[in-house]
Chain A
Amino acid sequence: MSEQSFLDHSHQRGFLECQIGSLLAALEHASRAERLAQAPGLLQRFDPRVRLIAMLVLIGLVVSTHSLTTLYGLLAAAALMAFVSRVPLTILARGIWLNVLLFTGALALPAIFLVPGDSVFHVPLLGWAMTMQGLESAAFLVGRALTAATFAGLTILATPWPHLLKALRTLGVPAVMVVILCMTYRYIFLLLQSALDMFEARRSRQVGRLTGAEKRHMLVANAGVLLSKSLHLADEVYLAMQSRGYRGEQHALLEFRMAPLDWTALAVLLAITSVAFRFQAWGLG
């Protein structure tokens, strides 16, 4: 094999590697969302418990509402909240909206034609009929997923990881669950990192190009090694935590204290919820 093609090869990243790489980058970003979490935005000023409660209530509302106006109103509110919290819309768009649209779009598209109802448009040549009811159910599907994901994403981006874990604890989530969550997060990170290391180590000494199928085969064949290696790493991290006094309880250098702003936020939340339900009762939207 020629020098040229070797170099060529070493620059090229396969699909799998890109996927793993971008997942890792996303996690990396999440772990460094610290900068966003420290930004002087509105959301960052609320007590983490209020953020969590608001997120849960709003997601509940999103899932249960039968009004498109309410649904897209909430989406607009979420985008506005991102704006005043200094979370760049590009991060939301690329990190959340694009993925959600691709995924739910694929599910919603057939519904446009399959749900029976009054046809509004005929696709030329194919003769398929788009129905009003189909469009509506697609709009619900996409809107719910988008809005719920935006609220969840915003909360996570605007809250440092230790604060989020501590808030979960103070809201009554059992310590065991929080520890599992905490370790899972680290574990996934280590797993992805070792997968990437494995590809890189291979790439530096392999001759010849691997096809996608061969790479997948390699990943599967090495899954055991990969798993035990990252399990071992996670073990080590856990030992290091224990060595410094970790006993399963999450502590953060922050006293949660409800400020007037937090009570205001809860009041606004209550108002939004009741208006949304009133709306529904009137059959508007």
Chain B
Amino acid sequence: MTVPAFELRDVEYRYQGVIALAGLSLVIPQGKRVVLLGANGSGKSTLLRLLDALYFPAAGQVLAFGEALDARRMANEDACFAFRRRVGFVFQNPDMQLFNASVFDELAFGPLQLHWPAERIRQQVETTLESMGLAHLRNRAPHRLSGGEKKRVALASVLILDPEVLLLDEPTASLDPESESQLIDTLIDWGGGAKTIVMATHDLDIVEDVADICVVMQQGRVIAQGTPGEILGDEELLGRTGLIHAHRHRHSHSGGAAHRHHHLHHGTRSTMPGATSKLVWRPLPRRKPEDA
């Protein structure tokens, strides 16, 4: 049994005294896709920032790959680079994440910080631009792109390092259904399904397609955990945590064109670990009804 990607023990975090995480414990196994569910303010973003070693807990412990993740470890340059190389974070607001003058520079930023040789950086940027369908935007200013394009650039700028773990904060928020569908497909295909993904969201529509494990958060604690089937089937739990509204129902299959449901049609989940980690951007196969 391999060590978990992350293990949190009674973690507490405060913003200037205001408690955001209150004794949170959680294990994130390697190679699993974990979805963090919770209403606004339940602590999802804070948790992700702790996992990315941007914040450190006031109390309790965070372990990454079996080792304590604390300020001391991150102060060491080699350990810090090793961690940054293994864990990538896609922020909720791409405007915050995109600060370079061009899409090309944006993708090159991470590899440059990690001291990759220049030739390798140029090559990798080109490959990633190509596979993410961004090649035509190479010289554009990132903050001038559309919402969906920004998100894709933000994702590409993290995936270029080929991390083992990908943290995503509400990746589908403010995306149109088409961009959302493309994003989900990229995530499912990424690394042949062998990578660890931790994604915060309150969009229940994407959970079933993406998640192996669902974690429900409320007021800075984990209050439930299970398979997507178990969690999504528990209407009482979802209602109590503010994830569904009384008169909403999931999966209405009536709509043809406006159908927003994703399907796991390529069986990527069972792909062997160690399969090629090449990422592929498929230019949108429009789903046919018989897929369902």
Bound complex: CA A236 to CA B121 (Å): 26
Scan A6-45; emit 1 where CB is below 8 A from any B CB, else 0.
0000000000000000000000000110100000000000
* A244 in contact with B113 (CB, 8 Å): yes
A70 → chain B closest CB, angstroms: 36
Name the contact of B99 in the complex, choosing from A34, A160, A240, A249 (C-beta under 8 A). A240
Knowing A162-B105, A244-B84, A244-B110, say if A239 contacts B49 (CB, 8 Å): yes
Kindly report which residue of chain B lies nearest to residue A161, judged by CB atoms.
B101
Interface: A3 (CB within 8 A): no
Residues of B with C-beta under 8 A to A216: none
Scan B101-115; emit 1 where CB is below 8 A from any A CB, else 0.
110010011101111
Bound complex: CA A237 to CA B98 (Å): 8
* B105 in contact with A253 (CB, 8 Å): yes
Scan B73-103; emit 1 where CB is below 8 A from any A CB, else 0.
0000100110011001101010011011110
A210 → chain B closest CB, angstroms: 28
* A233 in contact with B96 (CB, 8 Å): yes
* A34 in contact with B157 (CB, 8 Å): no
Pick the most buried of A32, A186, A243, A247: most chain B CB atoms within 10 A of its CB.
A243
* A245 in contact with B110 (CB, 8 Å): yes
* B96 in contact with A236 (CB, 8 Å): yes
Bound complex: CA A233 to CA B92 (Å): 13
Bound complex: CA A162 to CA B105 (Å): 10
Bound complex: CA A240 to CA B169 (Å): 12
Knowing A243-B84, A245-B84, A245-B113, say if A34 contacts B102 (CB, 8 Å): yes
Chain B interface size, as a band, is 20 to 34
Interface: A103 (CB within 8 A): no
Residues of B with C-beta under 8 A to A237: 96-97, 99
* B118 in contact with A243 (CB, 8 Å): no
Name the contact of A253 in the complex, choosing from B77, B96, B122, B158 (C-beta under 8 A). B122
Kindly report which residue of chain A lies nearest to residue B144, judged by CB atoms.
A32
Bound complex: CA A204 to CA B122 (Å): 45
* A251 in contact with B49 (CB, 8 Å): no
Interface: B141 (CB within 8 A): yes
Interface: A255 (CB within 8 A): yes
Residues of B with C-beta under 8 A to A32: 101, 141
Scan B181-211; emit 1 where CB is below 8 A from any A CB, else 0.
0000000000000000000000000000000
B82 → chain A closest CB, angstroms: 10
Bound complex: CA A249 to CA B115 (Å): 11
Kindly report which residue of chain B lies nearest to residue A235, judged by CB atoms.
B96
Bound complex: CA A229 to CA B80 (Å): 29
Residues of B with C-beta under 8 A to A252: 112
Pick the most buried of B93, B97, B121, B122: most chain A CB atoms within 10 A of its CB.
B97
Bound complex: CA A160 to CA B105 (Å): 11
* B80 in contact with A243 (CB, 8 Å): no
B77 → chain A closest CB, angstroms: 7
* A240 in contact with B96 (CB, 8 Å): yes
Residues of A with C-beta under 8 A to B85: 245
Q: Which 6 A-B pairs have the closest CB atoms?
A: A245-B113, A244-B110, A251-B112, A236-B96, A245-B84, A240-B97
Not counting A32-B141, A252-B112, a sample of 15 additional A-B residue pairs whose C-beta atoms are within 8 angstroms of each other reads A162-B105, A236-B93, A236-B96, A237-B99, A240-B99, A241-B109, A243-B88, A243-B91, A244-B88, A244-B158, A251-B112, A253-B105, A253-B121, A253-B122, A255-B118
Contacts A/B (CB < 8 Å), 18 sampled: A31-B141, A186-B99, A233-B96, A237-B97, A237-B99, A239-B54, A240-B96, A243-B54, A243-B88, A243-B89, A244-B113, A244-B157, A244-B158, A247-B113, A251-B113, A252-B112, A253-B112, A253-B121
Residues in B lying within 8 Å of A, measured CB to CB: 49, 52, 54, 77, 80-81, 84-85, 88-89, 91, 93, 96-97, 99-102, 105, 108-110, 112-115, 118, 121-122, 141, 157-158, 161
